[in-house]
Structure 1
Amino acid sequence: MIVASRISEKIIQISGQDRKSYLHGQVTQDLNLLDDTTFLWSGHCNAKGKLWSVHKLIAANDAYLMLASNIEAEQSFSELKKYGVFSKVEFALSEQLISLGVTAQTTSEIESALAISFTSHNLVQFELGYALKLAEGLVQLVIKKEKQAELEGKITLTNNENAWLAANIKVGLPRLNAETLDEFVPQMVNLQAIGGISFNKGCYTGQETVARMKYLGKNKRAMYSLFAAEQHIETASDVEVQLGENWRRAGKVINTAVTDEGTYIQAVLPNDTSEQAQLRVKDLEESRLSVSALPYTLED
């Protein structure tokens, strides 16, 4: 069954004569790689290299679209506007566009339902808007609000965003929450592993820290996908690891998705955490977190 749900994301529109040069100096990604068939994962950092947002970028005619969770988009929007006053660039939080998350067993099922084809690309522009292939069977739509009704009969629309979030967690796609803004450098949430950092593009805000993490091997943390049978695990909870007979703090939960079978969790932990590690949530002593294999390598 093909299911779509409204995603709690906002879309920043970046336009104006200097939009490319300005945004290029703000994000971790090389905007020269954007085209009609490609969206890019990217990060927006403060001067210390700590993330304000993890987002997706689309080149849309005379503007760029930056897609991020509500809290991340609001933070990036505020920071982009703050320094954009010195350039010919304009920013707006779109009121016309919405994001829908579509899941199915295979991408081909979604392609058939929407009459689109990704071939070897990850972005398709079609009559309703944009379709972004995030992973196998995982497609995000960016469409105008009034176009949503045209999806009825093609896919099943639901209000269950947790299923979409769980699918993203399973394949290791990062998303920050209010408690973790300004806390992690991009490599700590695996942004390099999903192609979200260009190490050749030149200067951008926070670049020195990001480069140091890569070339000097300074990064000691990474994002892991975990699962727990419990359904009451909060974001920003501490994760503990068992060492002998004792438990020690290992990291922090940054995202959760509660489903019927349990809770899917993203947590930032030491980057040498093994799949056999014994983990639990602090203050939930009976909880046990299992480590899931990621579909990519954590190497830069």
Structure 2
Amino acid sequence: MVLANRIAEKIVVISGQDRKSYLHGQVTQDLNLLNESTFLWSGHCNAKGKLWSVHKLIASDESYLLLASESEANQSFSELKKYGVFSKAEFELSETLHTIGLIAQSTSEIESLLSISFGERNLVSFDLGYALQLANGLVELVIAEDKLAALESKITIEAHENDWLAATIKAGLPRLSAETLDEFVPQMVNLQAIGGISFNKGCYTGQETVARMKYLGKNKRAMYSLFAKEQTIESASEVEIQLGENWRRAGKITNIAVTAEGTFVQAVLPNDTSEQAQLRIKDLEESHLCVTPLPYTLED
């Protein structure tokens, strides 16, 4: 069975003669690695190396597409446009491209539904748009508005994104909330673990901080996936950890998804947090958060 959710994302379209050279100097990823069968995770930082957005990049025929949550896309769009006036690059927040999340037990179910095949690729261009394989059984679609009806003839699309957000949290895929922009360097949200940082591409905004974190071992935080059986946690900002008989601030929450299964929480915590740690939501003493295993290693 395949579930479909509308995703609260926006797409920034970067076009113009200088689009590659300009964007290459702004993001953590090497744009030379983009091709018709590959999308890339990437980050967009301020001068201090703090993230404005974590996003996915696609190279289309005449432009780059930057996919991110609404708050991240709005921030990156504003910053890219601000400094792009000095280059031959154009920027647009698309009103006609939409993102749909598909969830299944395996990617093969989604391939069958859409009549596509990923093979060794993580990006497929097909008659409805683009399909990005984020993890096994987790595929994001980029579809033009006039193609939505064709997709809806194949599957019912739910208006909310809770199931999708929960699935991405379980998969350890980072997304920043409006409250956590300008707060974390890329390694603090595990961007290096999902291949979202190139350490060989040369200079980009914030690169000095990102390199220092890697080569001097200065990063002490990471993004964790947490789970609570309670279904009453709809909003929260901080996680606390039990140390002896006391509770201390452990870190900041970036996302919460309440589902029938329970509540999935994504939070940035000390990178030595163990799976046995006793955690709770700040100001919610009866809550109990379990650390769930990430599908990748946090080692460089």
Equivalent position SS for 1:77: helix
Query: What is the Cα deviation at residue 234 of structure 1?
Result: 5.1
Which sections of structure 2, spanning at least 5 residues, go unmatched? none
2:290 maps to which residue?
290
Q: How many residues align?
A: 300
1 CA distance for matches of 2:89 and 2:177? 27
1 CA distance for matches of 2:54 and 2:15? 20
Does residue 128 of the first structure (1) align with residue 128 of the second (2)? yes
Cα distance, 1:234–1:41 mapped onto 2, change above 3 Å: same
Q: Which amino acid aligns with 1:156?
A: T
Q: TM-score, normalised by structure 2?
A: 0.98
Q: TM-score, normalised by structure 1?
A: 0.98
Cα distance, 1:235–1:44 mapped onto 2, change above 3 Å: farther
Query: What is the Cα deviation at residue 87 of structure 1?
Result: 0.2
**Alpha-carbon displacement from aligned partner over 1:195-214 (angstroms, at most 9, x marks no partner):** 00000000000000000000
Query: What is the Cα deviation at residue 260 of structure 1?
Result: 1.2
2:255 maps to which residue?
255
1:1-300 alignment, distance < 5 Å: 1-233=1-233, 235=235, 237-300=237-300
2 CA distance for matches of 1:32 and 1:225? 31
Q: Which amino acid aligns with 2:44?
A: H
2 CA distance for matches of 1:230 and 1:113? 34
Query: What is the Cα deviation at residue 95 of structure 1?
Result: 1.3
Q: Which amino acid aligns with 1:17?
A: Q
Cα distance, 1:192–1:235 mapped onto 2, change above 3 Å: farther
1 CA distance for matches of 2:272 and 2:202? 30
Moved more, 147-156 or 273-282: 147-156
Equivalent position SS for 1:21: helix
2:234 and 2:258 in contact (8 A); partners too: no
Equivalent position SS for 1:109: helix
1 CA distance for matches of 2:241 and 2:123? 40
Equivalent position SS for 1:169: helix
**Alpha-carbon displacement from aligned partner over 1:33-54 (angstroms, at most 9, x marks no partner):** 0000000000000000000000
Query: What is the Cα deviation at residue 71 of structure 1?
Result: 0.4
2:234 and 2:257 in contact (8 A); partners too: no
Cα distance, 1:236–1:76 mapped onto 2, change above 3 Å: farther
Aligned-pair RMSD on alpha carbons? 0.9
